[in-house]
Amino acid sequence: LVLLSWLAQLPKVELHLHLEGSLEPQMLFDLAVRNQVTLPYQNVKEVKQAFQFTQLQDFLDIYYQAATVLVTEQDFYDLTWAYLLKCKEQNVLHVEPFFDPQTHTERGISFATVINGIDRALEDSEEKLGISSELIMCFLRHLDEESAFATLILAMDHLDKLKGVGLDSSELGHPPEKFSRVFAKARELGLLTVAHAGEEGPADYIWTAINDLKVSRVDHGVNAIHDPALIKYLQESQIPLTVCPLSNTKLKVFDDMNQHNILDLLSLGICVTVNSDDPSYFGGYMTENFEALIVSLDMTQEQMIKLVENSITASFCCQQRKQQLS
Ligand code: ADE
Ligand code: ZN
């Protein structure tokens, strides 16, 4: 109990959060009414019943459908602001959220509508909540290279709002190297790169994320454990992994939280971090993710301090902000 109240006030940093995945059921219904979108659910209870997944794709199908309620710039503002208020509540002081522009541009929402709404909320949060941020735009890997390139071109008018690019959606069958040329172009534009790899996919995808996409961090990366040479490389290079415990158990990457390997990776000296991924779908934000590790893996205060220190080290914020956070 002492540990839980200590955790509540511990200053935290979040590096793996999909804004679309922070859409809570109540806001889903409110926006559906506001924008006259029909949903296949009658109430919050039915939505929660639908949140039972056996693999990544089960979740993605529901996640993309829910995103159709997001239409106006204000909707993207409200979504982002609600997440930031949650961060304030949990003492999360710095965030590097993802958004998936193609989910919206594919249904006729303009890129500017999406990014301007998000950016305005992030700006307000710096001023009103004291939460700093760096925004990362993700490409959907189930779509083709051409669509990713078209998205990067749209982003070129908004480079001042972006720190980096990432890669998400259905992993198996869509290896990182499918986007080597897009990521090369993004790096030329001065953007940092990250990619989801080794969530459902093999350790090989982590290697190509590193070697072909030149990522600064790997999102998830938990399947690195199956490749001793990769473990050695991650130890030496200190390339961080943004691990998402509740996500991994909800999507059956691990059968149970007591099977999760995050503390094994930590004790191997790998730069692992704790994150929430899609909190409204997976049962919790940052604090709940730490709590789950305390309950199931007997995580200690010392381990939590190291995990947060890793997040600060792994973050894309400036040195001055890193010092403030430490
Ligand atoms: N998009 C949102 N959450 C994701 C995840 N955990 N893996 C891949 N794509 C995602
Ligand atoms: Zn993710």
Rounded to an integer, the average pLDDT of 266-278 is: 98
**In contact, 137 and 165? CB cutoff 8 Å:** yes
C-alpha 140/C-alpha 147 separation (Å) is: 9
Residues in the chain: 326
Q: Measured in angstroms, how far is the CA atom of residue 271 from the centroid of ligand 2?
A: 17
* Cα angle 66-71-72, degrees, rounded to a multiple of 5: 140
pLDDT band at 1 (very low <50, low <70, confident <90, very high): confident
Could you tell me the pLDDT band of residue 289, with boundaries at 50, 70 and 90? very high
In this prediction, residue 71 carries a pLDDT of 98
Instruction: Choose the residue to mutate in 61, 167, 170, 199 for probing ligand 1, maximizing ligand atoms within 8 Å of C-beta.
Output: 199
Q: Report the alpha-carbon distance of residue 217 to residue 240 in Å, rounded.
A: 5
**Catalytic one of 73, 96, 171, 199:** 199
In this predicted model, what pLDDT tens digit does every residue of 141-160 receive, in sequence order?
Answer: 999 999 999 999 999 999 99
* Of 325, 142, 311, nearest in space to 241 by CA: 311
| Amino acid residing at 159 | L
pLDDT of the residue at 124: 98
Other Cβ atoms closer than 10 A to 266: 20
Binding residues for substrate: 278
Task: Give me the architecture of the 2-325 domain, per CATH.
Answer: Alpha-Beta Barrel (3.20)
Asked if 100 contacts 18 with a C-beta cutoff of 8 angstroms, the reply is: yes
- Does the pLDDT at position 318 exceed 90? yes
pLDDT given at position 145: 98
Q: What is the pTM of this model?
A: 0.98
Ligand 1 atom nearest 278 alpha carbon: 3
Per residue in 230-244, pLDDT (tens digit) is 999 999 999 999 999
Give Cα 61 to chain centroid, integer Å. 17
* C-alpha 17 to ligand 2 mean position (Å): 6
pLDDT for the residue 255: 97
- What span, in angstroms and rounded, lies between the C-alpha atoms of 145 and 156? 17
Annotation says 199 is catalytic: yes
| CA of 21 relative to ligand 2 center, distance in Å | 9
Q: Is the pLDDT of residue 229 over 90?
A: yes
Q: Are 246 and 284 in contact (CB under 8 A)?
A: yes
Query: What confidence score (pLDDT) does residue 230 get?
Result: 98
Q: Note the pLDDT tens digit of each residue in 155-194.
A: 999 999 999 999 999 999 999 999 999 999 999 999 999 9
Q: Which of 23, 56, 58, 205 maximizes ligand 1 atoms within 8 Å of its Cβ, making it the mutation to test the pocket?
A: 56
End-to-end CA distance of the chain: 25
Q: In which element (H, E) is residue 309 found? A: helix 301-314
pLDDT attached to residue 35: 98
| Mean local confidence (pLDDT), 80-99 | 98
Residue 306 has what pLDDT? 98
Query: How many percent of the chain have pLDDT more than 70?
Result: 100
What is the average per-residue pLDDT within 86-92?
Answer: 98
Residues at CB less than 6 angstroms from ligand 1: 18, 21, 56, 168-169, 196, 199, 247, 277-278
